Amino acid sequence: MSKETQKKIEGNKSKQIEKTFEKRNLKLRTRIYNDMIRRQKLNVKKLKTAPENAFISLKNVNKIYDNKVQAVYDFNLDIKEHEFIVLVGPSGCGKSTTLRMIAGLEDITYGDLFIDGVFANDLHPKDRDLAMVFQSYALYPHMNVRNNMAFGIKIRKVPTLKVDEKGQPLLGKNKKLIARLKKQSNSLKKNARLSENEEELKEVNSQISELQAAINYLENNDVEIYEEKHVSKDEIKNRVDEAAKILQIDEYLNRLPKTLSGGQKQRVALGRAIVRNAKVFLMDEPLSNLDAKLRITMRSEIVRLHNQLKATTIYVTHDQTEAMTMATRIVVMNQGYIQQIGTPSEIYNKPANLFVATFVGAPAMNLFKVKQGKDYVVFENGFELKLNKEVNELVKKFYQNEKQYQSDKLAKIDAAFIERTEQLKEIANIKEKLGEKNSLTDQEKLKKELIDAENNLLILEQANEARAYCLEMNKQLAEVNVNEPVNLIFGIRPEDIYTNKRILTDGAVSSEVSLPITFAELLGKEYYIHTEFADKNLIAKVYAQDQVEIGGKIELVFDLDKCHVFDPITQKIIF
């Protein structure tokens, strides 16, 4: 057989394996999708109780699109009233999808959403009392500024208390609410009949009793009655005028959007949200179309408005500077998963992993491969940096906990991996038959079936990306011997490296290191000094007190309280 023929056969075989892999992968994703849809149908029938002290709450929220691609995985977040929450991360990390699920523009595949104590999964977007500001402004080109700002409340009806001629509230039976509660109660009774779990049955019966008590009260007592009505013209005019005054665009109310600058258009979009008097403002990268100078101005403008209106705001951006300067709390996302939730200070000073450490902060954190010592780390060039921590003890504790965590995680994945369980049963059955007395022909046939079944198992396991990743983590962690020096990653931010003439901490610092200046960027009162350290580029952000020269030397020290050490396998922070 010629080499060309051999290559062709191998190429066709590789394509066939890849095709089989994609087929199995799609089958697995489809099963996960269908399973989530099935579980969600049961989940939404349960009586929902909103978490305490949370104005908006997302519980185990997942999003899988119709093409079976998952965009958001187990998103959990409780937002307090008046908080300014920023979702930040690279393109495609799931932040805009999460925002759109809150807005009702995307369905939640699985999980619960609560807004102001109300279960909101099935609420129509118009009934969620949210105002959204888009990246593209979404202004109507044929309407002037006043009509653009007023349009949303002109077409919207709001619950209005019915009153008599004297202005006193009218009382009566709330038949719509009674009907809704009865429907919910009947749904729970159906679940109770199907339930075989005693604990679950007890909980469902308790929920039915609570609903029945509410129904009895409403059927026997008159309550205030509300009706859906449009906002009056005078109220609309007052709201628009007030919002325009706050945003300083009152002189543009009669202009068309095409005559406005980018910043003015952004103010109009904000104004349209303000006049709604909504419970929550949702903002999807609203400043990305503006120039750098205007973005800085609008950042402070949005924060000022948020504080003035006492709003609850959820803001999406890929710009970490916006996140750090605007947020009460930041949610860092990557590949559909939450990486860390915390205040800007917590995210910056205590990053949960390498992704957060390098994504937040400019210039990015300096990272170096090191080996562990008792209370020091050793760089690749042999330089030893003594730390003010017991490195040995912290590393041992980390790997002990991480090995157990990853082992438990793999067990959970395997327990839920139905296709793998079925394939293992098939392999066991074939092996059992092989152990029996069969003809030579049957034995050969069974051996071929076993090879095919084992190949299918391998393809199945490879197709499950979460399992493959977890399996690799377990494998690599098992090879770590904490009784010997462990490979680690050392990180320090450029601003936590000082010159020996200007040390900006009262805490412990390293001994001086004299390094060559390869490049220097002057940014007004500070330099970004590029230098060679441990055979790698290092950036130090230092005060521009003295003139520096490329090719010269600079004496630097490290702030030992601001150093970080990461695990190179899981990329999680150790300390």
What gap in Å lies between CA 321 and CA 439, rounded to an integer?
73
Average pLDDT over residues 279-294: 89
**Higher pLDDT residue, 285 or 191?**
285
Residue appearing with tokens 């293992």: 424
Hey, how many other C-beta atoms are within 10 angstroms of the C-beta on 287?
A: 25
Residue 482's pLDDT is 92
What gap in Å lies between CA 79 and CA 259, rounded to an integer?
38
3-state class of 221 per DSSP?
coil
Residue appearing with tokens 């490879």: 462
Strands 564-566, 487-492: pairing kind: antiparallel
Residue 8's pLDDT is 61
3-state class of 117 per DSSP?
coil
Query: Is 278 a residue whose pLDDT tops 90?
Result: no
Q: Are 575 and 377 in contact (CB under 8 A)?
A: no
Domain boundaries, the chain: 1-43, 47-129+279-362, 364-389+487-566, 391-478
Q: How far separated are the first and last CA of the chain, in Å rounded?
A: 59
Query: Is 166 a residue whose pLDDT tops 80?
Result: yes
Residue 260's pLDDT is 93
State which H helix or E strand residue 399 sits in.
Answer: helix 391-416
Average pLDDT over residues 567-575: 97
Percent of the chain with pLDDT over 90: 57
Kindly report which listed range (21-25, 36-40, 244-248, 538-542) carries the lowest average pLDDT score.
Answer: 21-25
Query: Is 546 a residue whose pLDDT tops 90?
Result: no
Residue 10's pLDDT is 62
Kindly report which listed range (84-98, 159-173, 407-421, 508-522) carries the lowest average pLDDT score.
Answer: 159-173
What gap in Å lies between CA 270 and CA 308, rounded to an integer?
14
Residue 14's pLDDT is 64
What gap in Å lies between CA 505 and CA 507, rounded to an integer?
5
Q: Are 493 and 366 in contact (CB under 8 A)?
A: yes
Residue 549's pLDDT is 85
**What are 210's two structure tokens?**
């609570």
**Higher pLDDT residue, 477 or 166?**
477
CATH topology of domain 364-389+487-566: OB fold (Dihydrolipoamide Acetyltransferase, E2P) (2.40.50)
What gap in Å lies between CA 269 and CA 289, rounded to an integer?
13
3-state class of 342 per DSSP?
strand
Q: pLDDT tens digits for 199-253?
A: 767 877 888 888 898 899 988 998 888 888 888 899 999 999 999 998 889 999 9
Among residues 263, 331, 259, 273, the alpha carbon closest in space to that of 300 is found at: 263
Q: What is the DSSP letter of 507?
A: S
Q: Are 556 and 494 in contact (CB under 8 A)?
A: no
What predicted TM-score, i.e. pTM, was given to this entire model? 0.84
Q: Are 332 and 89 in contact (CB under 8 A)?
A: yes
Q: What is the DSSP letter of 553?
A: E
Average pLDDT over residues 545-574: 92
Same fold flag, 47-129+279-362 and 364-389+487-566: no
3-state class of 350 per DSSP?
coil
Q: What is the architecture of the domain spanning 47-129+279-362?
A: 3-Layer(aba) Sandwich (3.40)
Q: Which residues contact residue 291 at a Cβ distance below 8 angstroms, ignoring those fewer than 6 apart?
A: 262
Residue 15's pLDDT is 65
Q: Which residues contact residue 88 at a Cβ distance below 8 angstroms, ignoring those fewer than 6 apart?
A: 95, 316, 317, 318, 319, 320, 322, 323, 330, 331, 332, 333, 359
Strands 110-115, 329-334: pairing kind: unpaired
What gap in Å lies between CA 56 and CA 312, rounded to an integer?
9
Strand arrangement, sheet containing 513-523? 497-499, 553-558, 513-523, 526-533, 536-543
What band does 433 get if pLDDT is binned at 50, 70 and 90? confident
Backbone phi, then psi, for 232, in 5-degree steps? -65, 155
Q: Are 470 and 403 in contact (CB under 8 A)?
A: no
The one-letter amino acid at 556: L
Among residues 308, 312, 309, 255, the alpha carbon closest in space to that of 280 is found at: 312
**Higher pLDDT residue, 345 or 162?**
345
Backbone phi, then psi, for 295, in 5-degree steps? -60, -40
Residue 12's pLDDT is 62
Q: Are 285 and 135 in contact (CB under 8 A)?
A: yes
**What are 344's two structure tokens?**
């800007």
Among residues 59, 70, 41, 138, the alpha carbon closest in space to that of 102 is found at: 59
Q: Which residues contact residue 38 at a Cβ distance below 8 angstroms, ignoring those fewer than 6 apart?
A: none
Q: What is the mean pLDDT of the chain?
A: 90
Question: What is the 3-class SS of 418-465, one letter each residue?
Answer: HHHHHHHHHHHHHHHHHCCCCCHHHHHHHHHHHHHHHHHHHHHHHHCH
3-state class of 510 per DSSP?
coil
Query: Is 463 a residue whose pLDDT tops 90?
Result: no
What gap in Å lies between CA 459 and CA 451, rounded to an integer?
12
Q: Are 87 and 333 in contact (CB under 8 A)?
A: yes
What band does 2 get if pLDDT is binned at 50, 70 and 90? low
Residue 164's pLDDT is 83
Query: Is 436 a residue whose pLDDT tops 70?
Result: yes
Residue 144's pLDDT is 95
What gap in Å lies between CA 256 and CA 139, rounded to an integer?
10
The one-letter amino acid at 110: Y
Question: What is the 3-class SS of 266-294, one letter each residue?
Answer: HHHHHHHHHCCCCCEEEEECCCCCCCHHH
What DSSP letter does each residue of 341-399 carry, written as one string? EE-HHHHHHS-SBHHHHHHSSSSPPEEEEEEE-SSEEEETTS-EEE-SS-HHHHHHHHH
